Amino acid sequence: MALTEIPSPALPPATDGPSVERPPLRRMSFGLLMVYVAILAVNSGGNGILLPNIVAGIDEAAKVGNLAFVTTVAFVANIFAQPVAGALSDATRSRFGRRTPWMVGGALLTSGFLLGLPLAGSVLAVALVWLVVQVGVNTLQAAATAIVPDRYPPARRGGVSAMIGVGITIGNAVGVIVAGGAASRGLLPYVVLALLVLAVVGLFVVLNRDPSSAGLARERTSAKDFLRGFWISPRRHPDFAWAFASRFLMVIGFYGSQTYGLYILRDYIGLSDAESNSFAATMGVVLLVGVLLSALGSGWLSDRVGRRKPFIVWSSVVMSLALAIPLVVPTTTGVLAYAFLLGLGFGVYISIDLALMTEVLPARLQGGSSAGRDLAILGLATTLPQAMSPSIAAALVTITGGYPAVFVSGIVFVMLGAVLVRPIKAVR
């Protein structure tokens, strides 16, 4: 995920002047970090632990295909929900501001249907409930991301971008730890994740009040113009297209093996259901350590040397080595080494990717673009491959009859992602 440097036209642009109060911005940055912890905890815990357990409980023999079906249905939400919610939040006029109503609505939708997920008794019901959860998550994310250009001056956006990156990393681990550690305790993991979303979003909107938008002029636009705004021409903006494609492939390579991690532990490594749930939580911690170790220093070092591309290439090499380990050492020790190295590589990537994408975003060159819509379009480079990776992995497992193909394809995807960075001209 990356952040544009163009302020939303509906509100006065943020400046670096004395009116900006540093303590509130620091508080807001930590609040956004926590919002992303909650968002990613739901997604990682749901996709990595909760959904695989529910689907396997309904039909063990068809679990791989059924999980792919469930995540593919949610793919619809990832295509439409975030861009539409971002654009609609831009147009919202209320005394609670433009973003708060959508953050609160998204949190309520996410939490309410998350609690209903374990009650779904069929694969179709699970798919539909998870679809609504994803609509809520994407609505929340679209509104939260747009707060950055709304309320931060350009000179402060790099810091909040880093905070959001840390939140994404921690959230990925928290979701797996909560879901894996409490997987055998009935509704507990669902309740914990639902309360996390409600508490974090509730505190954020209370402590960081969104300025009223009730008095802002309403912008009139036709349905045709509204839809046209979601298309960014690769011919006119080739750097953005290359960066988008690179991120797309890198995310598929990373999440392919993560989505089927529980089944890999059971069917490839040989752990029992109970052992795999517990071990998945341990892997989440190891992955988090790897990401934090590399992410905290990579962004700073990239700024110091003034280069981005070499770090992307290096991250792909490290992730490729990580994905190769389970092929050679299919044991719990090998999987832990894989998790740590994968975290190291992905930590480098996620810290550099934030900076790279802000430098190729079309709105940065055009000016006057809608913050919510632009950021949501950019977010598709992450959400779409997350939604597609389970189906790709399922097809590979079905065709080849095993999970090694998932790791091999991951290596191919992350290396291709590194190759597609090379044509970008605006970034060194």
Of 106, 108, 176, 165, give the one whose Cα is nearest residue 138.
Answer: 106
pLDDT band, residue 225 (cuts 50/70/90): low
Q: Is the pLDDT of residue 223 over 80?
A: no
Buried b (16+ CB within 10 A) or exposed e, 249-286: bbbbbbbbbbbbbbbbbbbbbebeeeebbbbbbbbbbb
The per-residue pLDDT for 288 is 82
Q: Is the pLDDT of residue 8 over 50?
A: no
pLDDT band, residue 12 (cuts 50/70/90): very low
pLDDT band, residue 13 (cuts 50/70/90): very low
Q: Count Cα atoms within 13 angstroms, Cβ side, for 179.
A: 32
Dig out the tokens for 294 from the structure: 């590399």
Return the percentage of the chain with pLDDT > 70, whole number. 80
Mean of the per-residue pLDDT values for the chain? 79
Q: What string of DSSP letters covers 283-313?
A: HHHHHHHHHHHHHHHHHHHHHHHT--HHHHH
Residue for token digits 């052992």?
A: 275
Q: Is the pLDDT of residue 328 over 90?
A: yes
Q: Is the pLDDT of residue 107 over 60?
A: yes
Is 167 within 8 Å of 33 (Cβ atoms)? yes
Q: Count Cα atoms within 13 angstroms, Cβ side, for 369.
A: 25
The per-residue pLDDT for 367 is 46
Three-class SS state of 234:
coil
Is 394 within 8 Å of 75 (Cβ atoms)? no
Q: Is the pLDDT of residue 10 over 60?
A: no
Which of 64 and 50 is assigned the larger pLDDT? 50
The per-residue pLDDT for 81 is 80
Is 424 within 8 Å of 312 (Cβ atoms)? no
Element (H, E) at 353: helix 332-358
Q: Is the pLDDT of residue 355 over 90?
A: no
Is 381 within 8 Å of 248 (Cβ atoms)? yes
Is 425 within 8 Å of 239 (Cβ atoms)? yes
The per-residue pLDDT for 300 is 67
Q: How far apart are alpha carbons 196 and 193 in whole angstroms?
A: 5
pLDDT band, residue 2 (cuts 50/70/90): very low
Q: Is the pLDDT of residue 187 over 50?
A: yes
pLDDT tens figures, 264-295 = 888 888 888 888 888 887 887 888 888 888 87
Of 43, 79, 36, give the one whose Cα is nearest residue 381.
Answer: 79
Q: How far apart are alpha carbons 76 and 65 in whole angstroms?
A: 18
The least confident of 188-197, 381-390, 398-407 is 381-390
Q: Is the pLDDT of residue 200 over 90?
A: yes
Q: What angle do CA 38, 43, 44 make, to 5 degrees?
A: 100
- The alpha helices in 117-156, defined as continuous H runs, are 123-151
Chain-centre distance for alpha carbon 306: 26
pLDDT band, residue 402 (cuts 50/70/90): confident
pLDDT band, residue 11 (cuts 50/70/90): very low
User: From its phi and psi, is residue 3 left (phi > 0), alpha (psi between -120 and 50) or beta?
Assistant: beta
The per-residue pLDDT for 323 is 94
pLDDT tens figures, 120-150 = 889 999 999 999 999 999 899 888 888 877 7
Element (H, E) at 44: helix 22-45
The per-residue pLDDT for 338 is 93
pLDDT band, residue 374 (cuts 50/70/90): low
Is 42 within 8 Å of 174 (Cβ atoms)? no
Of 300, 284, 318, give the one whose Cα is nearest residue 45.
Answer: 284
- Burial bucket for residue 27 (CB in 10 Å: 0-12, 13-18, 19+): middle
The per-residue pLDDT for 354 is 62
Q: Is the pLDDT of residue 337 over 90?
A: yes
Is 38 within 8 Å of 175 (Cβ atoms)? no
Three-class SS state of 327:
helix
The per-residue pLDDT for 299 is 65
Which of 259 and 117 is assigned the larger pLDDT? 117
pLDDT band, residue 7 (cuts 50/70/90): very low
Q: Is the pLDDT of residue 6 over 50?
A: no
Dig out the tokens for 11 from the structure: 């509100």
Is 180 within 8 Å of 277 (Cβ atoms)? yes
Which of 362 and 140 is assigned the larger pLDDT? 140
Q: Is the pLDDT of residue 366 over 60?
A: no
- Burial bucket for residue 212 (CB in 10 Å: 0-12, 13-18, 19+): middle
